[in-house]
A and B are shown apart, each in its own frame.
Chain A
Amino acid sequence: MVVMHKPPLIRQPNRLVTAAQRLALLLTAYPVSALAQAPSTDPAAFQVSLWAASCMACHGPDGRAEGAGMVIGGRPDLLRKLLAYKSGQLPATIMHQHAKGYSDDELGRIAEYFSRLK
């Protein structure tokens, strides 16, 4: 497992600590029921869940990012941030480049999806 919490100049793979942190995160913030959502059978909602799944590559399962990756699951302010990245108001290393690939409406639906993950 790659370990993230310190700058990568230092090799410090304490996998036990990381595993414990992940477990704690799972038990406290995300009860098991929240991990297994009933499958959506509404085509529009299903499409949004696929768009949101794309984000999870960098932001982790259900937006539970580790390390320096931003946690986006359960955030109420996500749309405001995404729109600010898109407009350039909020400086970023990479999110301004991603946000410009989506319409405001798409960003709104994705943000709403993540805001409900809690």
Chain B
Amino acid sequence: MSSRRIFLKAGLATSASIAAPHLAAQTGERVVIIGGGFGGATAARYLRRFNPALQVSLVEPAGEFVMCPMSNRVIHGGLQLRDISRPYSRFVANNGLRWVRSRADNIDLSAREVRVGTERIPYDRLIISPGVDYVYDGIEGMSTSAQQARVPHAWKAGEQTQQLRNMLQAMPEEGVVAMTIPKVPYRCPPGPYERASLIAHYLQASKPKAKLLVFDANPEIQAKKGLFEAVWKSRYGERIQYVPNADLKGVDTQAGILEFELQGKVKAHVINVIPPQRAGAIARNSGLANVGNRWCGVDFLSYESAVTRGVYVLGDSIAGSPGMPKSGHMANQQAKVCAGAIAAQSLGMAVPTEPIIANTCYSFVSQSEVIHVAGVYRYDASKKIMVPAPGAGGMSEQPSTMEAIYAMAWATNIMNDTLD
């Protein structure tokens, strides 16, 4: 069956097109979305919801979405990968999408086409939500994929998440785990510190003679600092050794030796290198990474690229406003603003000018205790950026099991909201 026929078949099956036949009958704009994560999938769903006449194609090679939030719990052993995964098939059918199950090779901005293998997919508007790419250029001994695979980043949930779990389990009883954290900005500011907490909890319970070394390229903990420091001190003591200003120079992945600019050489049994990051390759290769050749500048009313009209960038690849984290929750929120801007124009309205979005981020600090940070962001029309709403947002007062229950509810509900 041709892809076109799949699209038509899926389109007929949606309740949206049945409920609004007058719109479905019109020829809608063609929106192509590259990437089915929190940004791309949410955009697809809300575009069809806001205007069912839009023809939406999703270019995504994976058969299922594996969410990064909660993936540190898989490394810890409290969840399994399947608990944080959801196939795209039902989502695609529910929302009347055309699913191009391949990797997008490149974009022809002048012809307004996405190239996927031999196929050219024309678009009226293009949304790119590729996540981050990992940069090993500055780390000696890590240029080959075999070297990279020996010290998995596990910073995109999936196989490497399980691999890191397996490595911890196979480690000697008195083993040393080393993780490295890149300079900001990187995906999920509190993520490394949540991971450190959960690895320490695993070691405490299963390998009490082992320890964890956390090498942070930043001068201090980058999110929920006081809360992480307190729980590390009270719960994990000497089991976590935190080293700030640790610039990773190189890794001998076979001998298990890390080398740092200031701290010299360190040997470890399990090494987790979270490398520096930049916008996904397809965004950079298309010339959209105009901020430091690393991140994509956007208009915060629509997430339209600062470089090219009709092309939108979502999620971790964008240059966020100051204080706007790279998180799955933010990508979900940005996607709705973007979908709203595109749908509004397709319905003959102007782009809405008063976006209000929020971030909610939970971190596990042990098997059963959680802390959060929350923020509300509003558009500042004079500076043309999103700014934290005065007086809003904040953190937990202390870790709690109550928030662990809310954290899991959050994970389920954002998965539903993204991939319903």
Contacts and interface: CB of A to CB of B under 8 A. Distances in A.
B210 interface: no
Interface string B349-370: 1101011111010000001100
B368 A7 contact: yes
B392 A50 contact: no
A3 interface: yes
A60 to B, nearest CB: 4
12 contacts: A9-B78, A9-B404, A36-B16, A50-B337, A51-B356, A53-B340, A54-B356, A58-B409, A61-B417, A66-B409, A69-B413, A101-B375
Given A36-B16, A98-B374, A54 B403 contact: no
Contacts of B416: 60-61, 64, 66
Contacts of B98: none
Contacts of B417: 56-57, 60-61
A97 B352 contact: no
Interface of chain A, main secondary structure: loop
A80 B382 CA distance: 33
Interface residues of A, number: 47
A32 B78 CA distance: 36
Top 9 closest A-B pairs, CB basis? A101-B376, A101-B392, A101-B389, A36-B19, A69-B409, A67-B409, A100-B392, A68-B409, A60-B413
B232 interface: no
A46 B368 contact: no
Interface in A41-80: 41, 43, 46-47, 49-51, 53-61, 64-69
Given A8-B368, A67-B413, A97 B83 contact: no
Contacts of B402: 93
Interface string B368-402: 10001011111000000000010111101000111
By CB atoms of chain A within 10 A, which of B51, B79, B416 has the most? B416
B52 interface: yes
Nearest to A10: B78
Interface residues of B, number: 75
A8 B392 contact: no
A94 interface: yes
B409 A100 contact: no
A67 B413 CA distance: 8
Contact of B46 (A4, A9, A53, A59): A53
B84 A2 contact: yes
Contacts of A9: 78, 367-368, 404
A8 B78 contact: yes
A2 B18 contact: no
Contacts of A53: 46, 336, 340
A20 interface: no
B41 to A, nearest CB: 12
Nearest to B395: A97
B197 interface: no
A98 B405 contact: no
B406 A68 contact: yes
B358 A68 contact: no
Contacts of A46: 50, 340, 344, 347, 349, 352
A35 B96 CA distance: 14
B70 interface: yes
A33 interface: yes
Interface in B225-249: none
Interface string A1-21: 111100111010100000000
Contacts of B20: 36, 38-39
B407 A39 contact: no
A35 B15 CA distance: 8
Nearest to A50: B340
B414 A8 contact: no
A4 B405 CA distance: 7
